[in-house]
Structure 1
C-alpha cells in the first residue's frame, strides 16, 4: 500500500467524508424497522394497517429508485460530485423534519417524507462512490471503497443503539421514543455538509467540463505526492476523455450502444440485485419479525439488532485488507458460498428442532442468532463492500455517473420485490424460506465464477479492455498526439513558479 504520507492521509480523509453518505443509507434502512416496534408510533398514526405500513417502506424505495435512475447521474455529471452529495444531504435534512413533525394521524405526510429521503439518498449514493473512485489511486482504491460499506453498518449501528436506548425509556420519552430515533438522522448530513465545501472536486470532472487543467492539477496536487504522478494522471484522464468524446456518446444511449459498456451494465445490475436477494436486505428490514419467531421480549430483539450492527462494522473491516490482496472475484465467491452454508444451517436448525410447548428453547435461539451473525461475517466484506467497489470502478468516464446510479438503485428494485412477498412467505413456510436464500447464494457464486472478471489494481481509464472494449488511454493518446500514453514529459508542461506554488498548496 506504500508509505502513509501527508497527502495519502488527506486522500483517506476526503474519501471517508464521501463514504459518510453511506451512513445515511444504513441509518434509514434500519430506522423504519426500529420505529415499527414503538406503540407510540402506531398510536400516533392511528394504527396503520399492513398495506399502509408497506406503503411507508415502498415510498422510500420509489424515491431512491427514481433519483438513482434519472437524477443522480445527471446531477453528479453536470454540477459535480460534491454538489450531488450536498443536494442529497439537504433533501435528507428536509425529509427528516417532515417525518418528525408530521401532524398527528397524517400518515400521508410521513410517507411524503420517506419519498423525499429516498430522493436524497438516490443523489448521494450515486455521487459518493464515483467521488471516491476518481480520487483514489488504483493500488488502494478497493481498500478505501471498503469503508463505503462499513459506513452503512455504522448507520445501522447508530440507529439500532439509539432505538435500543429509547425502548428502555418509553415511559419518560412518550411519543419522542420514535421521534428521537428519526430526528437523530439530522446529525450525519449536517456533518457531511460542513466538510464538503473544503474538499476538492475530482480532476476527471474538471477536465470533462471545459478542460480545466489547472483546476484538475490543483485537485490532484492535494492527494498525490509527486509532480510526475500528477502529470501522468492528468495525461491519462485527458486521453480517456478525448477518446470517449470522439468515439462514444456520453448520454444514456451509450449504455446500450457500446457492447463493452452494455456487458458491464448487465453484470453490475445482476451483482447489485444479487446483493439484496442474498437475504441481507430482507434481514435488515424484517429481522424483528424473524427474531419474534424465536424470542418474545422486544427489548431483547432490539439488543440483538444493535449487536448485529456493531459486529457488522467489525466484519466489514475485513474487506480493507482482503479486497486488494485477494481480489474482488475471490471475495464474491467465498462470501456467497459461506452465506449459502449459513442459510442452510439456520433453516435446518429451526425447522428440524423439536418445539416443546410451542416455543423454541434458548439454546436453539442462541444458535440461530450466532449463525445469522456468521452470515453477516461472510456478507459484509464480500457482497456488502465488494459490490460497491466493483460497480464504482468498471465504467468509463462518459457513462460512470449514469451507470453507477442505475446499478446501485437496482438494489432497491430487488429489495422492494423480495420485501413485498417475504413476510407472507415467512408466515406460511416459516424458516423453510431460508432455503431459498441458500440456493440464491449458491447460484451467485457460480455466476461470478463464470462471468465476472477481476478488476483488482486496474486503472479506471483502462477497465474497458477487461470487457472487450478499446483501451481509452492508448486510443486517446493518438488523438492528442502524446508520445507515451502513460507518462507525461514534465519539461513540456509550461507551469510558471507562481502557478506551481499555488497548485501545491
Structure 2
C-alpha cells in the first residue's frame, strides 16, 4: 500500500510537470522578448531606432497577449471536444508555427507582430487547458501544490530566458542575426516537450467519463493513483456520479447563466483574481525587467545581469513555496499577506528611486541606494511567488460548479491575458513617462488587492471539487469549513 501511494505521488508529479511545461513556455516567452528588444542586432535587422523602441516593445509583447486572450474562448469548446491531451498537442503545434515565423529574419516588424499573435493563440489555449487538466487528475491533497507547478515552471522559463539574453548579448556580435535568433528559436524546445510529453500521460479520467469511455477512465484513474483498491473504486464512483450530475446540470446551458446568482459570484471571483495577479506589477517586471532595472543601475549590460539574478530569485522563491508551503497555508491568507508585503516593497522602491535617480551612463560600481532598491525588488518578487504568482491557477480551477467549470475557467484565464495585454501595452510608456512613479502605481494597486482579497475571496484548501461545487460561495468566508454550511442554490434550472 505504501509503495502504491509513493508511486501515485510520483505519477501525479510527473503529469503535473509535463502539462506545466505550458507554464515554462509562458515564462520563457515572457522573459525572452524584453531582452531581445534591447539587442542592437534585432534593431538593425528590423530597422528601427530609439524613436521606435517604445512602440516596438509595447506591440511585440502586447500583441501576443491579445492572441492569447482570443484563444481562451476557442480553447473551451476545443478541449471539450478533443480532450485535454489533444488540445495541448494542438496548442503546442500552433505555438511552434508562430515561433518559426519569428525566428526567420524577415526584416519586417509586421511579420514579426503577426507571428507573435499566432504564437499567442497556442500559448493562450494551453493556459486554459493546463489548470483544468491538473485539477481533474490530482488528488485533493496535492491539488494546490501540483497546481502551483504552473507558476514554478513559469519562473524557470523566465530564469532561463534572462540568462540566454545575457549570454548572447555578451558573447555574440551585435552585427550577427543569430544574437537574437537563438533566444527566439529556443522556444521550440519547451513547446516540443509539451506536445510530445502528452504521449506519456493518460487522458483526464473526468473527461473520459463524461464521454462515456468508462473503461479508459478507470485505467486513467488507476494509473494516476497507482492503485485499484476500494478507495480508488470509491473515487471513480464519485467521479461518475459527479459527471452524471454535470450532464444533467449542463443540459441546455446558455451563456446568460454565467450572470446569474452563484454562477456570477464565481465568474466574478475568477475574473478578479487574475486581474489582481496582473495588477501586482510582477508580470510587468517579467516582461520589461531590463527596462525597469535601467531606472536603477543605468544603461549598459548590467541591467541584463541584474535581471538574470532576478529570475534566479523567482525560481528559488516559487520552488520553496510549492515544495514546502503550498498545501500547508491558507490560500486566502497568503494572498492577503503577499499583497500587503508587495505594496510596502513597491512604495519604498518608488521613494528611493525618486531620491536617488540612476546615472545616465553605467558607473564602475553600483551605489548603495541602487543596491537597496534591487534588494527591495527581489523581496517583492519573493512575496509574489509565495502568493499571487502560484495561487490563482489552482484557486480558479477549484471554485466552479460542473455546469460552468469549462467556461468559468476560460473566462478567468482570459482576464489574465486581457490585463496581461493592457499592462504589457502600457508599461513601456509608464516607464518612459513616470519613471519612479511606475513603482508607486504598482504599490497602490497592491494595497487595493489586499483589501479585495480580505473582503471577497473564500478558502478552498483541502476540499474536493465535488464538495466545493455543491456548496454556497459564502460572502466573507475565511475558512474551508464555511463552505459546508449548505448547498448552493441552483439558479440555472427550473427542476
Q: Secondary structure at 2:391's aligned position in 1?
A: helix
Give 2:61's aligned residue: 57
Matched, 1:394 2:399: yes
Distance 1:315 1:213, change over 3 A: same
Native 8 Å contact 2:349 2:373 kept in 1: yes
Matched, 1:196 2:204: no
Instruction: Trace 1:273-312 onto structure 2 (pairs within 5 A).
Output: 273-312=275-314
Native 8 Å contact 2:340 2:450 kept in 1: yes
Shift of residue 312, structure 1, vs aligned partner: 0.6
Shift of residue 271, structure 1, vs aligned partner: 0.8
Distance 1:255 1:135, change over 3 A: farther
Instruction: Trace 1:135-150 onto structure 2 (pairs within 5 A).
Output: 135-150=137-152
Distance 1:258 1:230, change over 3 A: farther
Native 8 Å contact 2:69 2:417 kept in 1: yes
Give 2:234's aligned residue: 232
- Name which of structure 1's ranges 50-59 and 432-441 shifts more when overlaid on structure 2: 50-59
Give 1:100's aligned residue: 103
Instruction: Trace 1:399-438 onto structure 2 (pairs within 5 A).
Output: 399-438=404-443
Give 1:459's aligned residue: 464
| 2:135 corresponds to which of 120, 133, 136 | 133
Gap runs ≥5 in structure 1: 473-478, 480-505
Select the structure of larger CA radius of gyration. Answer: 1
Give 2:45's aligned residue: 44
Distance 1:304 1:358, change over 3 A: closer
Give 1:165's aligned residue: 167
Q: Secondary structure at 2:386's aligned position in 1?
A: helix
Give 1:184's aligned residue: 186
Give 1:496's aligned residue: none
Take 2:6 and 2:371, find their aligned partners in 1: how far apart are those partners?
Answer: 46
Native 8 Å contact 1:255 1:403 kept in 2: no
Deviations 1:426-460 (CA, angstroms, capped at 9, x unpaired): 33332123222112111111111111110001111
Native 8 Å contact 2:293 2:307 kept in 1: no
Give 2:70's aligned residue: 66
Native 8 Å contact 2:299 2:362 kept in 1: no
Q: Secondary structure at 1:138's aligned position in 2?
A: coil
Give 2:379's aligned residue: 374
Q: Secondary structure at 2:200's aligned position in 1?
A: coil
Give 1:450's aligned residue: 455
Shift of residue 272, structure 1, vs aligned partner: 0.1
How large is the Cα RMSD of the aligned pairs? 2.4
Q: Secondary structure at 1:458's aligned position in 2?
A: coil
Take 1:341 and 1:257, find their aligned partners in 2: how far apart are those partners?
Answer: 36
Shift of residue 384, structure 1, vs aligned partner: 0.3
Distance 1:254 1:8, change over 3 A: farther
- Name which of structure 1's ranges 432-441 and 371-380 shifts more when overlaid on structure 2: 432-441
Take 1:423 and 1:191, find their aligned partners in 2: how far apart are those partners?
Answer: 32
Q: Secondary structure at 2:302's aligned position in 1?
A: helix
Take 1:254 and 1:206, find their aligned partners in 2: how far apart are those partners?
Answer: 27
Distance 1:208 1:431, change over 3 A: same
Gap runs ≥5 in structure 2: 475-482, 489-494
Native 8 Å contact 1:217 1:230 kept in 2: no
Native 8 Å contact 2:150 2:390 kept in 1: yes
Shift of residue 192, structure 1, vs aligned partner: 2.1
Q: Secondary structure at 1:217's aligned position in 2?
A: helix
Native 8 Å contact 1:40 1:178 kept in 2: yes
Deviations 1:192-214 (CA, angstroms, capped at 9, x unpaired): 222212310111101111x2221
Take 2:335 and 2:320, find their aligned partners in 1: how far apart are those partners?
Answer: 13
Give 2:81's aligned residue: 78
Take 2:357 and 2:400, find their aligned partners in 1: how far apart are those partners?
Answer: 52
TM-score normalized by the length of structure 2: 0.89
Native 8 Å contact 1:323 1:331 kept in 2: no
Shift of residue 52, structure 1, vs aligned partner: 4.3
Number of residue-to-residue matches in the alignment: 470
Matched, 1:34 2:39: no
Take 1:228 and 1:463, find their aligned partners in 2: how far apart are those partners?
Answer: 23
Deviations 1:350-396 (CA, angstroms, capped at 9, x unpaired): 12348899999611111111100000000012000001110111123
Distance 1:100 1:126, change over 3 A: same
Q: Secondary structure at 2:85's aligned position in 1?
A: helix
Matched, 1:19 2:43: no
TM-score normalized by the length of structure 1: 0.88
Native 8 Å contact 2:96 2:188 kept in 1: yes
Distance 1:64 1:459, change over 3 A: same
| 1:262 corresponds to which of 261, 264, 269 | 264
Give 2:477's aligned residue: none
Native 8 Å contact 1:244 1:250 kept in 2: no
Take 1:94 and 1:355, find their aligned partners in 2: how far apart are those partners?
Answer: 41
Distance 1:466 1:357, change over 3 A: same
Native 8 Å contact 1:153 1:313 kept in 2: yes
Instruction: Trace 1:87-126 onto structure 2 (pairs within 5 A).
Output: 87-103=90-106, 105-126=107-128
